[in-house]
Structure 1
Amino acid sequence: MQAATASLRLAARASQRGVLTRRLATAAATHAEAHGAAAAASPARKAAPVSLLNMEARWTQLTEEDQAAVHEQLEAVQQKDWKELSVDEKKAAYYVAFGPHGPRAPDSLPGDNTKIWLSVGALVGVAALLTIGFRQFTPPPPHTITKEWEEASNQRALEMKLNPITGISSEGYTGKGFVQTK
């Protein structure tokens, strides 16, 4: 019993503040109900019509309330015949519906591609300089990696009869043996 009266008191306080509450298994308020209750709780104010002139440039500077007012104003204007609309009204309607704002805003800013290309070029240049620098300080290859040494290793393997079944000393062997350089 006390819990029920406490929840009623909380609901009464919430309704005095204009806050919508959801009780037990009741459905949440619809969008229209939520805005209707919020409008009833706050002092009624009718938004003045916003000029639709050059809406593309002014859209980002408008507050959310002004953007909503423009949206409602355009909905009312679009109920008329499309041929009766002014050019500014048509441009504003198109921009609000399909313009590059909100989820359709571009992900990159002008000049981002140039920065990416310059950064990648700089990284490739640094990698090339590091490769050249490391090659300057590496020792020369050992003398056993010359073609003459590898051919001499083949002759020595034949003299010692290395791998006589399938290898270099076998009958009909056509491989290169130890020669790997070109």
Structure 2
Amino acid sequence: MASRALTLQNLVRRAPQSAKCYSQAPPTAHGKREVVGYGFNGNPVYADRLDFPMPAIRWRETTPEIAALKEKEKGDWKKLTKEEKKALYRASFCRTFAEMNAPTGEWKYIIGMALIGVSVGLWAFLAVKAFVCQPLPESFSEESKKAQLKRMLDLEVNPVTGLSSKWDYENKRWK
């Protein structure tokens, strides 16, 4: 069982190396930063994401100061100061969860652009209405519609189920 776990561990360690061969990025794209995980599809990339909180590589390259802090980290964590803990965190990650969840104010830009788009559309509609569309013909006036209705009733158009069937010709009013 232990030997099988060791072979699986070796396969997992080899997976990012074989994935590098198939990626389009050069093998040293991440510089001298430490590879600590599998990454996206086996590629060693860094991204601050809430749904993928553990990136495959560290944020910063290991400097002598960070290496000394990592050695000190292997001991009792209570001996580390708050600034040292923050320095270790910032060496591995760019932003904290609070910084990732902080409002960006991007909604103002989106609403502003949407309102500008709506106003441009309204101005375009008014311009088309004023300069492109022709006035309606005379047959659309109320007088013309009344005259057309009277003519249809006089001609008894569709007397069985249509308009003329609802007109009382003897009393000259609607049934």
TM-score, normalised by the number of residues in structure 1: 0.43
Structure of higher CA gyration radius: 1
Higher helix share: 1
